[in-house]
Structure 1
Amino acid sequence: MTALEFMAGEIPLALQADLQVRWAHLMERAEPFDAQWYGDMLASPRRGELLKAFSCSAIVLDYAQRFPDFLPTLDRNGWLLGDVPQEQLADELRAGLSVCQNADEAAAELRRFRIKYWMRIVWRDLTRLAVMEQTTEDLSVLADICVQQALDFHHAQMCIEWGEPHSKAGVPQRMVVIGMGKLGAGELNLSSDIDLIFAYPESGSTQGGPRSVDNQQFFIRLGQRLIKSLDARTADGFVFRVDMRLRPYGQSGPLVVSFDALMEYYQDQGRDWERYALIKARCMAGDDIAGAELMRDLRPFVYRRYLDFSAIESLRDMKAMIQREVARRNLHDNVKLGAGGIREIEFIAQCFQLIRGGQEPDLQARELKSILGTLRDGQYLPAQAVDELHQAYRFLRDVEHGIQAWREEQTQQLPQSNEARVALAFAMGFVFADGEANIEGFEQCLAEHRQRVTHHFENFIAPPEDEDGAPSSQRCEHWQLLLDELNPETLTAALAESGFENAEEAARRLILLMDGGAVKRMQSSGRERLDDFMPLFLEALSSAEQPTETLIRLIPLIEAVLRRTAYLVLLLENPHALEHLVSLCDTSPWMARQLSAHPVLLDELLNTEQLYHAVEKDGLRSELRQRLLRIDQDDLEAQMEALRYFRLAHVLRVAAAELSGTLPLMKVSDYLTNIAEVVLESVLEIAWQNLVSKHGNFADIHDARRHFIILGYGKMGGIELSYGSDLDMVFVHDLPPNCQTDGERPLDGAVFMTRLGQRIIHILTAQTRMGSLYEVDMRLRPSGNSGLLVSSFRAFDEYQHKEAWTWEHQALVRARVVAGDEVLAEKFTELRRSILGLSRDEALLRADVVQMRDKMRTQLLPKTKRDENNRQFDLKQGEGGIVDIEFMVQYAVLAWSHQHPPLSVYTDNIRILESLQQQGLFSAEDVDTLTEAYKAFRSQAHRLSLQEQSGQVADSQLADERGAVERCWQQLMLEEPA
């Protein structure tokens, strides 16, 4: 077939003449067998594929003329329509290189291989048999295979010439190739450079060759050969252009360095732009195991453990540089570098990675699509913004590929020639009904995408002074001058004028801080941040109710972050977060202490919607599960840190919501209890998996149950946790006797359960960088501290029926399952109801309860608080206080549940009181009285807790409530029944 005829509307007229000429040349050069394939393709339903690929890519048609068999071979293997197994690609190149005798033959083989599979990728991209993500992945895989096989070839050649490199300990050494940029992310374009860094594990020398050389010398020469085999332009073209400028010290640095030298460079001299570059880095060839270890070691340099707002200024400089470069180089028609281009989308994503990646492992992914999804799911960017950025990115990358497919030129510049413009619009699917290219429609759509990107880019990391509500520069300059001088009289006068109570003390504290050794030892960059922060801080304090007291509360926080001034930048960059900080700590010293102890919690101040709204239990459970899923199951330390942050963050949110008045008392306790329960569920799961990994499962038990529960007593059981509450717990199991695990180190079932309990307590109480999760009290288990840590259900049952004291049955009133096996939980619930429903001698029961109440008051109420001259009331232990109400409720449940089973259903006092009214045992008036008193006492206790004050109030406070409780106590517990 020597002529190519077109039907109406097949391809734009401007592309037909050139395609006819090139087609004729192809037919002249193709062998009959291959020419038949081209002819059959034109006559088949797939004719449109061929015409579009050849008309939109002159270079593909050029390559087809040089290698007429490539496309037919690919199609006969099914690889134009379908995927190519990666290992099959590697095997093909490996086999081709294995017969090469020298570097020149290897270079020719690499180039032919690259051309063949590059043609396949372009064909599939232009015909939309592959979506953009498949195209970039296939290109990256092609690069990986070429680099790996070329490296293996040259390494083997050099080992013959120089011997094999070994460490000083005699361990063979292989070079590691780190792919950067788009290669590292698996997002290469059709004409990408590949940015590489070379490194090797350890110093040493070669062994077994004609002469020994230093490892670095060996690997430098290996690197040079690898680059030449890929980058040098020969008669067959090139494989990939190689760029080594991202290595330490850039062009002036050694081509290859050891891992130690690489780490030392980044630790001592690494800059923010290098962190930015390493976000996409991956080991893509060479020693995979050593490379993976190197990437793990580099991660702390790239991703800080805390919210890294310290990178903001560098990123802002990068952003300004990008904008200046667009103007200077007239890049407006460049879909990568121009305004609204690919680079701006990547910049937005990578900024979030640098700032938040240390705390959000999902942001450590390399692929932009994955990062954008995390930004949407984590609500770091509005869903609409993410969708617009993602759609624009896919469109722009398709445009980029369309530009580069035309002549395989390394450009992202929109074409100027009419033929190329027509080909690009045609490749992008912008055609009229008559088949002509709709260039105007394409350019309009492109402009709309770029305008959206520009909008998001320009609004990203805007200077904080542009935000509404930021303090005026004049006020900040005023405070800055005062802090520069630190004159006590002048500073005191200015503070007094701004409303600081006890301005003299405020001035004294400020001078002590700014003149202190910790500030003087700060590095210059940290001191600059502190100097920028303090004027804003003082201005924000001036709006507090108690500016001086709030200043004193927050100085420990400032001192805590002097060596981690990224936290100051967080507040500098987010003026509203600074407002929340001052407002909350003005209201609560507890809040200030929490933030000072754990500055990482400042992150919680950034999202107002989350800060003042507690999360429902299912939401808590989902969030914690997602956090833990990102952590290696064997990394117990990381799991414990994640649990602690989760608990601290959500308790902080509950406190903020309570302080702001958006969360009532009963909901506060509910949420604090929910947090504890969700944490316990995860702790149990972690502890269980930890033991199973060491000792195996119970193979002789033919069910999937855990046979273990955690019972919550006291405030936990009563759904009444406060901010500093301990967890009163009891562990119970119902494993059959004589069962054993099936691991390499088997354990008896009872021993397994005991170790499970010990592991749970360890996870809860171990002191880590973020403190402990909870304090734990296990004294309510059978026989107290002398009893087994984990009781069998049978032993627990027998103890409750035969040995438990009245006070232990009182405790059982507030006991419930808070985590563990559902079947065993139901068994416990039935046991609890049966114990509470036992018939008891009411007079003896009343005497026991009263005796226990007197004993508690004697032991737990300080004598100074009971002294008549000390006019204070203890909310919990005082007469007419919280415990009196609790003991009345417990007495009622134990006395009357055998006749009124609904009394044993609930564990919280409020609902038990409601049940007593419903059963006709308490009058509505008494229930209302006790309920309101109970709420009032607990509300006051919560407020005192947030003020870090003891649980006492003036004797004149809550007198009516106390009197009502005392009357109820007298009637129920002290008067003989009629």
Structure 2
Amino acid sequence: MMAEAPFLRRLMLARPEVLAATATGSFDTAITAAWEPGESVAEVSRALRRERQAVALAVALGDLSGRLPFEQVVRFLSDFADRAVERALQAIFRERGADAVTGFSVLALGKHGSRELNYSSDIDPILLFDPDTLPRRRSEEPVEAAARVARRLVEMLQTRDANGYVFRVDLRLRPSPEATPPALPVEAAIGYYESSALPWERAAYIRARAAAGDRALGDGFLAAIRPFVWRRGLGFGAVGEIREISRRIRAHYSEGQVFGPGYDMKRGRGGIREIEFFIQIQQLVHGGRDPALRAPATLDALAALAAAGHVGPDEAARLAHGYRAFRTVEHRLQMIEDHQTHSLPTDLAALDAVARLDGLADGVELLDRLRPDVAAVGTIYDSLDPTDGVAFPRAAVAVEDLVARAGYRDAGAVRTRIEGWRAGTPRALRTPAAQAAMEAALPGLIAALGQASGPDAAFARLDRMIGGLPTAIDFFRLVTARPGLGRLVADILSSAPALADQLGRRPALLDVLIDASAFDPPPSVAELAREFGAVEPGADYQQVLDRARARINERRFALGTQIVAGVADPIEVAGGYARVAEGAIGALAGAAVVEFAKAHGTVPGGELLILALGRLGGGALTHASDLDLIYLFTGDHLMESDGAKPLGATTYFNRLAQRVTGALSVATPAGPLYDVDTRLRPSGAQGLLAVSIESFERYQREDAWTWEHMALTRARPVFGSAGAVVALEVVIRGVLSRPRDATTLIADAVRMRGEIALHKPPAGPFDVKLVPGGLVDAEFAVHVLQLRHGIGLDPRLRTAIGDLAAAGLIDGEMAEAHALLTRMLVVMRLVSPESTEPPVAVRPLIAAACRMADWDALIAARDAAQRLIAAEWSRISTV
């Protein structure tokens, strides 16, 4: 080591006490012992340089001996940087007559921010100040005072003297460094990042943290710009910008790109920067949705991405191995003369010296060790670029020929639409950047749509969608970067009008499909409610509604896509739709309750309850289902609320119920949500919107019609405290379990079914809900048996049918017949929302989703199911 690293040799001669301490004790003890007292700027400057010598020597000894792992090496270096900046700032503020560092914050970016400094690294801080709290002299303006602090800090850290320097300081990561002062007013900085920042600056702030000075000021700034860094909506322009940075680096350092002597470990193809950029790109893509991916340290972020399934295990292992290996060699290069170098020597003797520092025989062995990792990293990083395709033709004849060969029937119509795109007819395609993104996407998009079940209809829907966008840049970049996503988009556009319409209103929904979790079942209702209700601190009620709508519709869109992609049973998707709706009620009703209480307080001893009926009560919704709700409240109806604008209990809860309905149903800038149907409440549309539990029980016991009790068989509380929910369930069970006259029950049910058939006839033979022998007949049969025998009183029809079959009251095949028609209903709501005969092209999708070999098999099974249900309803309704 003495021979290969002159810098270390000089340190060992100058600081024998550090050498001795590392030999007999721990490295952190040796570093701690190197601290020297000092108060003035001059004393602190000397002490920090002396401490830097001790840190450099101790860390090098620990690294070269193998006693310190890579992660500990970079942490020692980074922690010293924090201490040095903090101590220098304190000395500067004392020099200026201040007792403490206030109104001035140092943000650490880059490797300092992620606590991964290299052996001879500079630091890249952003310096911020608060004009209102920064101490300054009488003659100084705040900007002038902050600039003086900044220049003094840089001088203290990087000026060389007999003891060396502390850190080189690079302030060029601040906005417009050529025109701005070295320290920025915090509000101006926030304004810049909210309105004018460049895409690559998002990546820079992945690793940002408040490292010294006024930490509260720095943390507040980072919290304010968090939405700029971590966006739920993908900006593939930012990803492309980072890739372009890498291309420029490769071009600029072309002499260091070829692996061998002279190879640049940091900037070379397959080097350190490409590992970091690869990980940061994945973080930018997925981190807006998953905070667990926002780890600043490279290896921590890589592990999080691998755990979430965004980076394959083999790729993650190779990148991690390469990163440790490259950074370790980088440290060896810098230990030789404390130069900030990253390139392997071109001189073979010097390369041999580096290899010996790494415990190897010579430079050839070092190159052989690094070569596989460099090649693998380069290949992995190159995979971020979409495959270069052949340019899409421009001549009309050539376009039509290509389109026809891709599978479109009306190639002329498709060609006309493409010409409109190229002419900039849609406003979304009127910029050079949008045109470039569209041209890059066209070959893959035409091919993907051509393989869809209905390519012409799919392209027409895509054209309408593009026509409604303010800009199409991100859409085209997204499908170019993710060819598999292009095929899924094609399937959605061709097969599922309900999803295509949703996508047309909000193309950002495509972002949902990038996460692997999009094809997982939704989590529990409680987790969904937390997800939907989570907002940034300080958000107002309207922002709560908007944010919740975006997230709820993302979940609904993902569930529908699971059916189109053929990865989920429609029955499971129906359950997922119901959980999402219940989570929406939990979040939005909860927000409405809090907002309403701000003006009117709360009713002592009272609370709002929400009872779900129909498909929501039964835990199985479709994409288009409305929400059948009854609002109830507990407590004394004579009580009054305790807010600034008090209301009587009945008025209070009726107005609150209106607020909840609005929260669930009113369209906001984020889009529509659910239709809410409250007509099943006591006395229907003529009754109060919200009634007390006591009034509800009395109505159900004394005044309710048979059909209302039939509806109550699928009643399930979905909002309210645990105690109130239990009390309501007892009321419902009591109403449903009471003895009934079978003749009256059956006559009322038959009359009601006749009214439905008269006033709401089926749309056709594929209206599996309303056709004879359809789902309504199945439900009526089950509800009559539930009320007549008091058996199977479960709101979930599948469970109820199982209980009734076990009691011998219904055909055992009823469960499968009901399941088949339920699957058909869930799928048909996506592919044929009006329940009309589905297009031939989507029939294979419907059959597969319903677990049938083909369309003919599905139709035969449907007919058999309807015959069975019709027979059961006939038998039950004539007993």
Worse-matched range after superposition: 523-532 or 566-575:
523-532
The answer as to 2:310 corresponding to 1:347 is: no
Distance 1:860 1:246 in 2: 66
The runs of 5 or more residues in structure 2 that have no matched partner are 839-858
Q: CA deviation at 1:677?
A: 4.1
Shift of 1:839: 0.9
Q: Which position in structure 2 is the counterpart of 1:883?
A: 776
1:587 to 487, 491, 495: 495
Matched with 1:950 is 834
C-alpha change, 1:497 and 1:321, in structure 2 (3 Å) is: closer
1:664-679 to 2 correspondences below 5 Å: 664-679=569-584
Pairs within 5 Å for 1:149-548: 149-155=87-93, 157=95, 174-201=103-130, 209=138, 212-250=139-177, 254-259=181-186, 262=189, 270-324=197-251, 327-329=254-256, 332=262, 334-405=264-335, 408-413=338-343, 439=361, 448=369, 451-452=372-373, 454-462=375-383, 466=387, 473=390, 476-478=391-393, 480-482=394-396, 499-515=407-423, 517-519=425-427, 522-548=430-456
Please tell me whether residue 141 in structure 1 is matched to residue 79 in structure 2. Answer: yes
**1:328 Cα deviation after fit:** 0.5
Q: Contact 2:355–2:366 at 8 Å: present in 1 too?
A: no
8 Å CA contact retained: 1:71, 1:120: no
Q: CA deviation at 1:810?
A: 0.8
| CA apart distance, 1:216 | 3.4
SS at match of 1:177: strand
Matched with 2:507 is 599
| Cα deviation digits, residues 374-401 of structure 1 (max 9, x gap) | 2112211012322332343334444444
Q: How many Å apart are 1:597 and its aligned residue?
A: 1.8
Q: Write the distance in 2 (CA, Å) between the matches of 1:750 and 1:398.
A: 72
Residue 658 of structure 1 pairs with residue 563 of structure 2: yes
- Whole-angstrom distance in 1 between the partners of 2:135 and 2:410: 74
Distance 1:315 1:935, change over 3 A: same
- CA change 1:256–1:651 in 2 (3 A) is closer
Rounded to whole Å, the distance in 2 between the matches of 1:741 and 1:655 is: 43
- The 1:542–1:962 alpha-carbon spacing in structure 2 relative to 1, beyond 3 Å, is closer
On the 8 A contact 2:420/2:426 being kept in 1, the answer is no
Structure of greater Rg: 1
Change in 2 beyond 3 A, CA 1:660/1:383: closer
Match of 2:743 in 1: 843
CA contact (8 A) 1:817 1:825 kept: yes
What are the superposed Cα offsets for residues 261-289 of structure 1, whole Å, 9 maximum, x if unpaired? 65676677744444433432334344444
Residues 615-660 of structure 1: per-residue CA shift (max 9 Å, x gap): 2756x97788689889669787777666545543443343334335
Distance 1:205 1:917 in 2: 77
How far is 1:777 from its partner?
3.1
Task: Give the distance between the partners of 2:140 and 2:18, measured in 1 at CA.
Answer: 45
Match of 1:8 in 2: none
SS at match of 2:107: strand
Tell me the TM-score normalised to structure 2 length. Answer: 0.80
Secondary structure in 1 matching 2:38 = helix
Name 1:912's counterpart in structure 2. Answer: 800
- RMSD of Structure 2 on Structure 1 (CA): 5.1
**Change in CA separation of 1:848 and 1:498 when aligned onto 2, cut-off 3 Å:** same
Could you tell me which amino acid in structure 1 is paired with residue 876 of structure 2? L
Secondary structure of the equivalent of 1:849?
helix
Q: Give 1:62's aligned residue.
A: 13
Q: CA deviation at 1:965?
A: 5.2
Question: 1:850 & 1:142 partners in 2: Cα distance?
Answer: 82
Q: Give the Cα–Cα distance (whole angstroms) in 1 for the partners of residues 653 and 64 of structure 2.
A: 62
In the alignment, residue 595 of structure 1 is paired with which amino acid? L
Deviations 1:718-768 (A, max 9, x none): 233111112223466778999999999999999999899777656544544
**Compared CA separation, residues 347 and 858, structure 1 to 2 (3 A):** same
Q: Which deviations, in whole Å up to 9, do the C-alpha atoms of 1:317-373 show, x marking residues without a partner? A: 333344445651476555444454432321211222333444443444422233212
Structure 1 residues 404, 272: CA separation in 2 closer, same or farther (over 3 Å shift)? Answer: same
Q: 2-side partners of 1:238 and 1:106: how far apart?
A: 12
8 A contact 2:88–2:156 mirrored in 1: yes
Provide closer, same or farther for how the CA distance between residues 400 and 816 of structure 1 changes in structure 2, counting only shifts above 3 A: same
Which range moves more in the overlay, 957-966 or 231-240? Answer: 957-966
State the shift of 1:570 in Å: 0.7
Supply the AA of the counterpart residue of 1:455: A
> What residue identity is the alignment partner of 1:724?
A
Contact between 2:102 and 2:213, CA under 8 Å: does it hold in 1? no
The residue matched to 2:629 in structure 1 has which SS?
A: strand
Contact 1:307/1:567 (<8 A) preserved? no
Q: Name the % identity.
A: 26
When structure 1 is superposed on structure 2, of 310-319 and 714-723 the one drifting more is 310-319
Matched, 1:810 2:696: no
- What is the identity, as a one-letter code, of the residue corresponding to 1:198? L
Residues 939 and 180 (structure 1), Cα distance of their counterparts in 2 relative to 1, 3 Å cut: closer
**C-alpha contact 2:31 2:51 (8 A) present in aligned 1:** no
TM-score, structure 1 as length reference? 0.73
How far does residue 921 in structure 1 lie from its aligned partner after superposition? 2.8
Q: Determine the C-alpha separation between the residues in 2 that align with 1:122 and 1:636.
A: 55
| Letter matched to residue 459 of structure 1 | I
The equivalent position to 1:615 in structure 2, one of 515, 518, 521, is 521
Question: What is the Cα deviation at residue 683 of structure 1?
Answer: 5.7
Q: Taking structure 1 as reference, are residues 204 and 56 closer, same or farther at Cα in structure 2, changes over 3 Å only?
A: closer
Contact 2:22–2:58 under 8 Å retained in 1: no
Whole-angstrom distance in 1 between the partners of 2:585 and 2:10:
63
SS at match of 2:278: helix
* Distance 1:754-1:108 versus aligned 2 partners, 3 A rule: farther
Separation in 1, partners of 2:10, 2:658:
69
1:972 and 2:876 matched: yes
Aligned partner of 2:28 among 77, 80, 85: 80
